Structure 1
Amino acid sequence: MNCEYQIKGNTLRIFIPKELDHHISDSLREEADLLTETYFIRKIIFDFSRTDWMDSSGIGVILGRYKKMKFSGGTVSAVHLNERMQNIFKMSGLEALMEEEGR
């Protein structure tokens, strides 16, 4: 299952699937960048409500979107992190970079 996307105004919500690995990360990167540019997105929300696992390529794609948003004055946040995903965010340093908007 690939990611699902929802746009409201200038906010893009990305629903991350159960596992975020290098196969899904490539398409997520391309689609998120295209949507961000096409719809002048100022905020990206990564929704982890369905996610149990993420590898380093998933961390990289999230970090890349964070850098792009920061460069353009936008923001990135994460929502619905389960305990495992919270640990991955802590260990990778993502926790310090972005807001967590719910559990």
Structure 2
Amino acid sequence: MAVICKAKDRTLYAAIDGEVDHHRARQIMGELVRQIDVTMPRQLTVDLGGVNFMDSSGIAILLRANRRMGELEGSMEVVHVPEQAGKVLRAAGVDRLIKFE
């Protein structure tokens, strides 16, 4: 599984692993949004510590999750961002829209 989620007390923790590219983006995005819709969290933490490659598909995944959390009046943060993924996200300005640890 590309996304492993744990929910507790309206907090959702989602760990993404492996490659985040156009081949896996639909699966990752679908599972993440499904988990958000099921748990209705106030806080979403996305852990990218297990990601070994990310392309622009990762940007879309995080922006869609952030938009959904905004619709729920919740907040989102991204933790354990690997160097390569961080470069992609910073180049696109995602770090100005979403809190990064």
SS of residue in 2 equivalent to 1:58: helix
RMSD of equivalent CA atoms: 1.5
Moved more, 62-71 or 31-40: 31-40
- State the TM-score, normalizing by the size of structure 1: 0.85
Which runs of structure 1 show a deviation greater than 2 angstroms over 4 or more consecutive aligned residues? none
Partner of 1:92: 92
Say yes or no: does 1:50 pair with 2:50. yes
Aligned residue-pair number: 101
- State the TM-score, normalizing by the size of structure 2: 0.87
**Structure 1 residues 12, 24: CA separation in 2 closer, same or farther (over 3 Å shift)?**
farther
Superposed, which structure 2 residues align to 1:27-46 within 5 Å? 27-46=27-46
Question: 2-side partners of 1:42 and 1:24: how far apart?
Answer: 26
> How far apart are residue 26 of structure 1 and its match?
0.9
Structure 2: state its 5+ residue gaps. none
Question: 2-side partners of 1:85 and 1:76: how far apart?
Answer: 17
> How far apart are residue 51 of structure 1 and its match?
1.1
Q: Which has the higher strand share?
A: 2
